[in-house]
A and B are shown apart, each in its own frame.
Chain A
Amino acid sequence: MTPRQAFWRGYLDCAPFTLIVVPYSMLFGVVARDAGLDILQTMSMSVLVIAGASQFTAVALLQDQAPVFIALLASLAVNLRMAMYSAALVPHVGHARLGVRALMAYLMVDQAFAVAVRTYEDRPDMSPPIKVAYYFGCMALICPFWYGCTLLGAVVGQAIPASFSLDFAVPVCFIALTAPLLRSGPHIFAALVAGTAALAFAWVPWSLGLIIAALLGILAGGQAELFLARRAERSGA
Chain B
Amino acid sequence: MIDATTFWTLTVLLGIGTFLIRFSFLGLLGGRTLPDRVLLYLRYVGVAVFPALFMPLVVWPEATGGTPDPIRLIAALAAFLAGLRFGVVWAIIAGMGTLYLMQFLLS
B26→A221 contact, CB < 8 A:
no
The B27-48 residues at the A interface (CB cut-off 8 A) are 27, 29-34, 39-48
- Asked if A108 contacts B80 (CB within 8 A), the reply is no
A45 at the interface (CB under 8 A from B): yes
Range of interface residues on A (Cβ < 8 Å): 35 or more
> Would you give the 0/1 interface string for A166-178, flagging 1 where the beta carbon is closer than 8 Å to chain B?
0111111111111
Interface residues of A in 84-98 (CB under 8 A from B): 84-91, 93-95, 98
* Interchain nearest-CB distance for B81 vs A (Å): 8
| Cross-chain contact of B2 among A36, A110, A190 (Cβ < 8 A) | A36
> Closest residue of chain B to A114, judged by CB?
B46
Residue B67 lies at the interface, judged by CB distance under 8 Å to chain A? no
Given the known inter-chain contacts A75-B14, A82-B18, A199-B59, please indicate yes or no for A187 contacting B96, CB distance below 8 A.
Answer: no
A179–B84 touching, CB < 8 Å: yes
Q: Which of B7, B42, B54, B103 contacts A175 (CB 8 A)?
A: B54
| Nearest chain B residue, comparing its CB with the CB of A177 | B50
Assess whether B88 is in contact with A87, with CB atoms less than 8 Å apart: no
Residues of B within 8 A of A219 (CB): 41
* Complex contact B44–A217 (CB within 8 A): yes
For the A-B complex, the count of residue pairs with Cβ-Cβ distances under 8 Å equals 287
Tell which of A84, A85, A101, A195 touches B55, judged by Cβ atoms closer than 8 Å: A195
- Of the A-B pairs whose beta carbons lie under 8 Å apart in the complex, a sample of 14, sorted by A's number, is A16-B92, A49-B18, A75-B14, A76-B18, A79-B18, A86-B22, A87-B25, A90-B29, A101-B23, A165-B63, A198-B55, A214-B52, A217-B49, A218-B45
Chain B residues packing against A (C-beta within 8 Å): 1-2, 4, 6-15, 17-19, 21-27, 29-34, 39-63, 72, 75-76, 79-80, 82-84, 87-89, 91-93, 95-96, 99-100, 103
User: Could you tell me which A residues sit within 8 Å of B by CB distance?
Assistant: 16-17, 19-20, 35-37, 41, 44-45, 48-49, 51, 54, 58, 62-63, 68, 71-72, 75-76, 79-91, 93-95, 98, 101-102, 104-106, 108, 110, 113-114, 117-118, 121, 162-163, 165, 167-182, 186-187, 190-199, 202, 209-210, 213-222, 225-226
